Amino acid sequence: TTFFLDAPSGTGKTFPMNLLLAKIHQENRVAIAVASSGIAATPLHGGRTAHSAFKLPLDLTKQENPTCNVSRGSVMRNLLNECSLMIWDEATMSHKAAFEALDRSLQDLRRNMRMMGGVTVLLSGDFRQTLPVIPQGTRADEVNASIKSSNLWQHMEKLHLTTNMRVHVHGDENAATFSAQLLNVGNGTAAGDADGFIHLPFGNFVPTVDDLISSVFPGIANQSLDTTCLQGRAILALHNKTVDAINNKLLDLIPGEKLSF
């Protein structure tokens, strides 16, 4: 059976996934934990990236029916044959062809034509977050690459986590409001104006990058600045070139000579 766990950020999906992994390992059975990115794999017990673990092709779209490049006699081949549980976190980030390749490979390796070769598989993710990245792709290309566009999707059992545990545990009303507003944006239920823009009732807005730097790193040009105040502060950007430009501005503001290592 294959399950998909829909879990918005903060709902605590990592805990039950690690609990399942621990239970299987306690019973001396094989469980495999992967994620669509290295960072997402870190919180999982024994987590690895899906591409690394399953030897998925780097460009899944170049082949009509891609499969995992798992060699005969390899450790991973044996694990796939003996696997009782497979967990794939942030599955919404991966191309549908990755899951179809895994499905074909498991059916072949295990000589079992059931979905995923009869392995119990738990996929998890949040479609409100990052979807498969298609270079220069259109909205239609992104939708087509999503696991929801795969024939496998209709055969998966859907599960949902809805309570934001971070908010629930701390009882922070402001955090609860912020979480609800983010969900409205992600669900497409946030009210928009005639031009399609939505009003974000949270956060502070600044007109220029210089104002942003001043807000996040106040007093950075001060000679007597205590550099420990820089800890826990960061500016995030969508593109590397934007990050480089902001970092260069910050370096120009910091007193002293620039050094490259």
- Alpha helices by DSSP H, listed for the chain, are 14-26, 38-41, 50-54, 75-82, 96-109, 139-145, 165-170, 173-187, 209-216, 240-253
Amino acid at 127: F
Q: What per-residue confidence (pLDDT) applies to 151?
A: 95
Residues 30 and 84 sit within 8 Å (Cβ to Cβ): yes
| 19 Cβ contact partners less than 8 Å away, ≥ 6 residues apart | none
| 85 Cβ contact partners less than 8 Å away, ≥ 6 residues apart | 20, 21, 24, 29, 30, 31, 32, 119, 120, 121, 122
Measured CA to CA, the distance from residue 40 to residue 36 in angstroms comes to: 7
Measured CA to CA, the distance from residue 97 to residue 77 in angstroms comes to: 20
Q: Which domains does the chain have, with CATH numbers?
A: 2-162 (3.40.50.300), 209-253 (no CATH)
Question: In the structure encoding, which two tokens stand for residue 68, read together?
Answer: 């995992």
CA distances to 19, 129, 225 from 44, rounded to whole Å, are 10, 19, 39
**pTM for the whole thing?**
0.80
Residues 51 and 25 sit within 8 Å (Cβ to Cβ): no
Show pLDDT as tens, one digit a residue, over the chain (261 residues). Answer: 899 999 988 888 999 999 999 999 999 999 999 999 999 999 999 999 999 999 999 888 888 899 999 887 889 999 999 999 999 999 999 999 999 999 999 999 999 999 999 999 999 999 998 899 898 889 999 999 999 999 999 999 999 998 888 788 777 787 888 888 888 888 888 888 888 888 777 677 888 999 999 999 888 777 666 777 777 889 999 899 999 999 999 888 887 777 777
Question: In the structure encoding, which two tokens stand for residue 131, read together?
Answer: 């979807």
